[in-house]
Amino acid sequence: MATTDASILRARTVTRALLLATFVIGALNAAVYFAGVLQANANAVGILFVLFIGLAALQVLLGLGTVIAGVVYGLRMRREGESMATAMGMAFLGVAGAAGGVVGGVGGVGLVALAAGMGGAWGRPLRIRGRVRHPELRAGSDWTEGDRPSVEGLDAPTCAALEALWLHDAQKEHASVPAFARVAWTLIAVGAPAELVTRTFTAAQEEIAHTRLCFALAAGYGGRSHSVESMPELLVQGLDVRGDAFVHLALESLNDGCLLEDYNADVAAACRDACEEPVTGAVLACIAREERDHAELSWSILDFCLARGGQPVRDALLDAAGKLGSIPRPTAVSGEKLALVARADAAALRAHGRLPDTEWARIYTERLGRTHVRLAELLGHRDARRASVADAAA
Ligand SMILES: [Fe+2]
Ligand SMILES: [Fe+2]
């Protein structure tokens, strides 16, 4: 640039400074994000999240400032008969920086919101329009039934954490009841055999029992009873089956039954093995056994859908097999309860059947591998059976 006009030089310096600041803040924000992802301490995660949002907002402001400064710089260059290309290039980078701040900020908030709902539990997830749902809590005892655990030797923060974790499980178990009711309804709609429908209603009844047991444990740890609020969304969005019902049943069974309920059974069994409190241990043993039955039911439903739904089901399952690894893993503790659990005595949590998320992650990796193998076998065997029938016909 040949000009030495002071106003142009000033505009260029401001634009460069704002652009540099935009990208420095963007890089810093990315570092904060990954530090938050890798951070195990709940309080630190909260601080990093606030910092992340603040930096994203600052990045957007700096990006927009760069755009304005770049345009001013360009217009001044044009006034002097100089090329605007450099100034417009910087303004464009400012737009990219601001857009990066918006996308990163919204994406980060979305991931945190997702994490808040991703705490695992011992039931089949209830999805409505793709969102995992469960009932809210209220005071009451009409869903509480079962023995109370001993809280001897537990401090108040640990009791509070155990109460919160079992209440979360009770909410998820309760949601499994309409989830199985929907499976039963859909099975009947597609003409499934009585054996599958019976097993599905049995699973729903077992989820009712699990809910009561979880509320009873929560009452024991917290010294007060809870129940559930109504779920009016089920009245208008309950069935939620679109397209090929066999494909829908097969995909839901694969994700929520074959994978997640088998994972639930694995985790419950590991928690039972760690648990030293007899009442809680007995509940975990019951849940581990019955969640395994629910997973087996889902494999049976998958087999039925393949037999009756034909090629579309097979194609959908082959496609889903490649995406199983991208299903978000249910974590040991949902996002909003991390701080509460961080204040509890970790050894006491384990003695009461609560394992850390690192162990959940290890169990999930193993389960994911087994699910992949079993699905491949199911699809392969079906092909083998079809091939043998074709050979016999020839
Ligand atoms: Fe279940
Ligand atoms: Fe359950």
- For 236-260, write each residue's pLDDT tens digit: 776 778 899 999 999 999 999 999 9
Nearest ligand to the CA of 291 is 1
Q: How far is the CA of 367 from the centre of ligand 1 (A)?
A: 16
357-379 pLDDT per residue, tens: 999 999 999 999 999 999 999 99
Q: How far is the CA of 285 from the centre of ligand 2 (A)?
A: 12
145-154, 326-335, 341-350: least confident range: 326-335
**Domain coordinates of the chain in residue numbers?**
6-116, 126-393
Q: Is residue 40 very low, low, confident or very high in pLDDT (cuts 50, 70, 90)?
A: very low
Kindly state the percentage of the chain with pLDDT values over 70. 89
Nearest ligand to the CA of 121 is 2
Quick one: pLDDT at residue 331?
87
Q: Is the pLDDT of residue 390 over 80?
A: no
Nearest ligand to the CA of 211 is 2
Nearest ligand to the CA of 209 is 2
Does the pTM surpass 0.75? The reply is: no
Alpha-carbon distance of 372 to 368, in angstroms, equals 6
The class that CATH gives domain 126-393 is: mainly alpha
Q: How far is the CA of 105 from the centre of ligand 2 (A)?
A: 36
Quick one: pLDDT at residue 392?
47
Within 8 A by CB and 6+ apart from 363, the residues are 263, 266, 267, 270
Q: Is residue 118 very low, low, confident or very high in pLDDT (cuts 50, 70, 90)?
A: low
